[in-house]
Amino acid sequence: MQLEVDGRQIDIQVDPQMPLLWALRDVAGILGPKFGCGIAACGACTVLIDGAPVRSCVLPVGDVTGRVTTIEGLARDGALHRVQQAWLDEQVAQCGYCQAGQIMTAVALLEEIPDPTDDDIDKAMAGNLCRCGTYPRIRAAIKRAAGNATGA
């Protein structure tokens, strides 16, 4: 089957029931999305499909119809996406394992709500677990990316 991932067409021959995450990681070699739980409970595998955040660990690859964007497809022409840049500026990551998923969810949030309130951030980010407890800096980075550089 054909998938469009990060602006590239890829041809992938797998069981259509295989979750998108494993098709990306084990077959297409796209390692940005991470495996955390396999039941859409932690958000580490989050990718965008036509701009909407999706937990790729539970979505059968055969059901994917739209354009897939992973963390690896965010930077353009060597420049980080503004959300990635905000993450860098706020020094958000600790172990870093969940951060690809956090960033993808934040990208989708800011596309939908350019200037989110704390409540908007809470709602959008609740599905992304971080065991290192980077939440205060994630919140600050989202506000910075939104233009409120003074956030939390």
Partner 1 sequence: MSRLGTITRRTFLGLAAVAAGGIAVGYYYYRKPYPNPLEDDLAEGEVTFNPYLKIGSDETITVIAPRAEMGQGISTTLAAFVAEELDVTLDRVKVEHGPPSYAYYNAAMLEEGGGFNFWDNSFTAETVRGMMGVAGKMLGLQATGGSTAARDGFDRMRQAGAAARAMLVDAAAARLGVAATELETENGTIVHTASGRSVTYGSVATDAAKLAPPSEVRLREPAQWKLLGKPQPRVDMLDKVTGAPIFGIDVRQPDMLFATVRMSPVFGAKPVRSDISAATAMPGVLKIVPIESTYGSGFGVIAENTWAAFKAAEAIDVEWGEPAYPRTHDAIVSMIADAARSGDASAMRDDGDVDAAFADAPPERVIESEYSVPYLAHAPMEPMNCTARLKDGVLDVWAPNQMPVLVRWFCSDIAGVPGERTNVHTTSMGGAFGRRGELDYAIYATILAKETDGRPVQVTWTREEDMRRGVYRPASAGLFRARIGDDGLPVAVDMRIAAQNMMASLTSRLFPSLPAGGSDPSITDGSRNQPYTIPNYRVSEIQVPLTIPVSFWRSVGNSVNGFFHEAFMDEIAHAGGIDPVEMRRKLMADFPAAVAVVDKVAEMSGWGETLPEGKARGFAFTLSFGSWCGQVVQIADTPAGIKLEKMWIAVDVGTALDPGIIETQMTSGAVFGLSAAMGQELTFRDGMVEQSNFHDFDAMRMHQAPEFEVAVLENFHKMGGVGEVGTPPAAPALANAIFALTGKRIRSLPLSKEAAFA
Q: Rule CB under 8 A: which residues touch partner 1?
A: 14-15, 18-19, 22, 25-27, 29, 31-39, 41-42, 44, 70-72, 74-75, 80, 84, 87-88, 91-100, 103, 121-123, 125-126, 128-139, 152
Q: Length of the chain in residues, anyone?
A: 152
Query: How many of the other CB atoms lie within 10 Å of CB of 36?
Result: 22
Q: How far is the CB of 3 from partner 1 (least distance, A)?
A: 16
Nearer Cβ to partner 1, position 4 or 14?
14
Nearer to partner 1, 67 or 96 (CB): 96
Give one DSSP letter per residue of 124-139, joined into a string: HHTT---TT--HHHHH
Least Å distance, CB 58 to partner 1, is: 12
Identify whether the C-beta of residue 25 lies closer than 8 Å to the C-beta of residue 18.
no
Which tokens go with 121? 């951030």
CA distances from 127 to 4, 20, 39, 43, 79 (A): 25, 18, 12, 6, 28
Question: Smallest gap, in angstroms, from Cβ of residue 2 to partner 1?
Answer: 19
Output 35 or 67, the one with its CB closest to partner 1.
35
Tell the smallest beta-carbon distance from residue 47 to partner 1 (Å): 10
